[in-house]
């Protein structure tokens, strides 16, 4: 194996990513070396490409980006015994500390010392990735590399959707981006009675209808409130999954929730947003903020659901060889695609 590899990195503090040659990572005794086969482009990667205020203040110049991946193990650290060479895998991109109260209590996803591959540490847009064995998730035969490469965002959707009991409930998803669409599919798979998804992007609403048995509503042209009597719902939605980061979407969600409704929020509003807390209080609404995935409960649940009939493949709308990464990123930046997957097998 050569000691050099191709990698996509933020080599300049400006818009874009650039292909470069980098050393193959050296692994430690508790790490594995993964040969990358497929990677997904994430919204976070678009922020880094655009070099917006968040990215410029967070991502070091020179970093190899990317954190959605699938591949196979080609080297094992000397202390690694539970994994094997040639094993197909994905992995948890949040690298946790071991000293915090949360981590020591097993609540790894809440560890304040968390660092992200492709954001703070060298990432997966490369031919090889070093990853702690602790973070490595083996893939069963039923989950191919293409689906394995989008388990990270599917995990966001699963963590959000399963925040509350969904069996027999009426669910509203605001934001028909790929994660919102997958959350709607998870809600339906988990036993929700009605699942409604809203957006103002008709192309993504059309995609949502292809991925899952949900009712897409374009709130630029249709009244969300009209859906409630149409679906013969008694009062309003029982569970809300806010995936857009849009203040108006959250306001609409609060307006159409039933008394005692529950909202899980994954979407991140830009800056500070005004909130009419009196409406939330008087409706006795519960709001839960969601970040990342529960390590590793979310991984167990989403793999089990994929093995048991959850089908999100249609959320992948574009596939490119990694040498065409610029086209892949431009496709994502246009805002009408689903997931975009890059193939590293011919790099």
Q: How many CB atoms lie within 10 A of CB 88?
A: 18
198 assigned to active site: no
The residue from 11, 21, 39, 44 that is catalytic is 44
The residue from 11, 39, 47, 327 that is catalytic is 47
3-state secondary structure of 199: strand
The 3-state secondary structure of 77-139, one letter per residue: CCCCCCCCCCCEEEECCEECCCCCHHHHCCCHHHCCCCEEECCCECCCCECEEEEEHHHEEEC
Q: What CA–CA distance (Å, rounded) separates 2 from 276?
A: 59
Helical ranges in 149-201 per DSSP H: 151-161, 178-189
**CA angle 11-109-9, nearest 5°?**
10
Q: What is the DSSP letter of 290?
A: -
Q: Do 142 and 307 contact (CB within 8 A), yes or no?
A: yes
Where does residue 233 rank: exposed (0-12), middle (13-18), buried (19+ CB within 10 A)?
A: middle
Q: What CA–CA distance (Å, rounded) separates 108 from 100?
A: 9
| Cis peptide bond prior to 291, omega within 30° of 0 | no
Distances (CA, A) of 296 to 107, 136, 150: 9, 10, 16
Residue 250 backbone class (left: φ over 0; alpha: ψ -120 to 50; beta: rest): alpha
Q: What CA–CA distance (Å, rounded) separates 210 from 314?
A: 7
Q: What CA–CA distance (Å, rounded) separates 51 from 61?
A: 10
Q: Which residues pair with 33 in a beta bridge?
A: 75, 130
44 assigned to active site: yes
Catalytic positions, written as ranges:
44, 47
């Amino acid at each position: 194996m050569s000691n050099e590899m191709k990698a996509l990195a933020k080599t300049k503090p400006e818009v874009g990513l650039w292909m470069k040659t980098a050393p193959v990572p050296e692994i430690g005794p508790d790490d594995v070396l993964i040969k990358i086969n497929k990677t997904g482009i994430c919204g976070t990667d678009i922020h880094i490409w655009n070099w917006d205020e968040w990215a410029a203040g967070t991502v070091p110049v020179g970093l190899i980006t990317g954190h959605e991946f699938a591949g196979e193990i080609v080297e094992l650290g000397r202390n690694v015994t539970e994994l094997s060479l040639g094993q197909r895998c994905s992995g948890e991109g949040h690298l946790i500390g071991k000293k915090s109260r949360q981590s020591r209590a097993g609540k790894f996803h809440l560890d304040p010392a968390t660092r992200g591959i492709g954001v703070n540490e060298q990432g997966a847009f490369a031919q090889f990735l070093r990853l702690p064995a602790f973070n490595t998730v083996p893939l069963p035969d039923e989950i191919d590399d293409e689906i394995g490469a989008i388990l990270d965002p599917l995990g966001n959707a699963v963590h959000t959707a399963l925040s509350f009991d969904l069996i027999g409930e009426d669910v509203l998803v605001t934001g028909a981006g790929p994660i919102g669409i997958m959350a709607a599919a998870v809600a339906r798979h988990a036993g929700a009675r009605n699942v409604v998804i809203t957006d103002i992007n008709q192309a993504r609403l059309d995609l949502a209808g292809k991925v899952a048995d949900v009712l897409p509503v374009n709130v630029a042209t249709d009244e969300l409130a009209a859906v409630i009597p149409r679906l013969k719902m008694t009062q309003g939605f029982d569970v809300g999954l806010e995936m857009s980061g849009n203040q108006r979407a959250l306001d609409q969600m609060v307006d159409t929730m039933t008394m005692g409704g529950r909202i899980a929020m994954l979407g991140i509003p830009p800056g500070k947003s005004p909130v009419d807390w009196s409406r939330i209080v008087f409706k006795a609404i519960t709001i839960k903020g969601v970040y990342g995935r529960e390590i590793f409960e979310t991984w167990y649940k989403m793999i089990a659901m994929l093995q048991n009939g959850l089908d999100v493949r249609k959320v992948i709308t574009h596939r490119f060889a990694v040498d065409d990464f610029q086209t892949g990123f431009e496709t994502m930046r246009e805002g009408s695609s689903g997931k975009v997957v890059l193939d590293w097998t011919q790099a």
